[in-house]
A and B are shown apart, each in its own frame.
Chain A
């Protein structure tokens, strides 16, 4: 399937989670996690999901369970229970994040960028959308160069956690400044290569798309509108 179809599928699945009641939401959130676990190529991504969702859960529980509040107010009643809406919120975030991991596994960055550039989007917009996905390699390389330079100046990147935390400033501040300084060179380089000179560019490697995919994308987006409308109506009746 075309990367855009996968993207719309992810969007539909994640946003739909916002409209579901808790019992269904639990099953809804288990599905992407189960697929990650069953799919051998995607299994490693469960660590990323856990690394993001477990601290998020702890944070939400600390803030909303009133345990901290009862502890500091010396109240006799200590509550460990988290409100239902927090559980629902956490499950929604799990759906978003786990489904996004599946999307990333299914659609490699280069395929998505190629799809952006071969789409009908203006070239500038396509570049803007692709930008965040492209930063990783460039920042990694800059960071390695800065690390090398700072090591030569005596900054140690080994040692205890606190010592390593202290090295974040000498790493990040040059990275940020360098990235901003490089913008002029990068934009000149793009101009020299006729970027945005014409509204459309030649597509050498078009991304395959089934005939029914645009239709499916429209249907999924319409489904979201219907779900959202039904949810709003239900809430209005319930409050009214």
Chain B
């Protein structure tokens, strides 16, 4: 299977103030990757870098190898519609020139000059899947935080991206709505063979959906699997029970797996 992300010993230096990396990340097409980290760990910098939104003037130098969707992002640093980046603040990412949610979702496909019928199908599918039909005629700027995040995710996914970067993009949703939205993204992932990178400061629900997990601490990345590192407690928001076990340093993998199980809901089958 083709690699969506192929990053090898990548170092991004922000004028000696902050250094991201060295990090090595590989993500196959259709796979999910979770990058956990606290405030100032470099999550948003990594997100910018992955989608090509990092301005050249913002960094001193970049070393290593970085291929995203087959193109070298060290040389070709520009935003592309195949890489969608959804950030924490939804209102800033609206086009600003659409007066209804329906038009807002259609804005991207219209820019791609797709046939009108194709656009309507994409918009209807997104509205239905993200349960936004009742918001269809609302002004995007008047939506609540959670509604705005749903609409923004719909806007990103109607572009049919190959890489979706969620930079704490679900923070305004209720726990139940978060799982619903992640299930919808799962459907799109299966259909479009899109890869997802979730950048989170909370372990759940990202750990539930992502096969690969990385802890980002002051720019340096360390992958982890079932065996949770004790340092996770300092940087990531964890359920209380799990936190207690990790602090006791009795890292019995069976015990952790047992503790994790109540939080691991598992992705729902795509039935949409």
- Residues on A lying within 8 angstroms of B by beta carbon are 109-110, 113, 117, 123, 127, 130, 134, 137-138, 141, 182, 184-186, 188-198, 200-204
Contacts and interface: CB of A to CB of B under 8 A. Distances in A.
11 contacts: A113-B97, A117-B97, A134-B97, A185-B89, A191-B53, A192-B83, A192-B156, A193-B81, A193-B95, A193-B155, A198-B111
Interface of B: 51, 53, 55, 78-81, 83-85, 87, 89, 91-97, 99, 103, 106-116, 119-120, 139, 141-142, 155-156, 159
Contacts, number: 91
Contacts of A123: 111
* Nearest 3 A/B pairs, CB to CB: A191-B79, A193-B108, A189-B93
A137 B80 CA distance: 28
Given A193-B107, A197-B81, 18 more contacts: A109-B99, A134-B96, A138-B91, A189-B94, A190-B95, A192-B51, A192-B85, A192-B108, A192-B159, A193-B95, A194-B112, A194-B159, A195-B95, A197-B111, A202-B113, A203-B110, A203-B116, A204-B103
A113 B106 CA distance: 15
A204 B106 contact: yes
A3 B13 CA distance: 51
Nearest to B155: A193
A97 B93 CA distance: 34
Nearest to A196: B111
A110 B104 CA distance: 13
A201 B141 contact: no
A201 B115 CA distance: 10
Contacts of B110: 201-204
B112 A204 contact: no
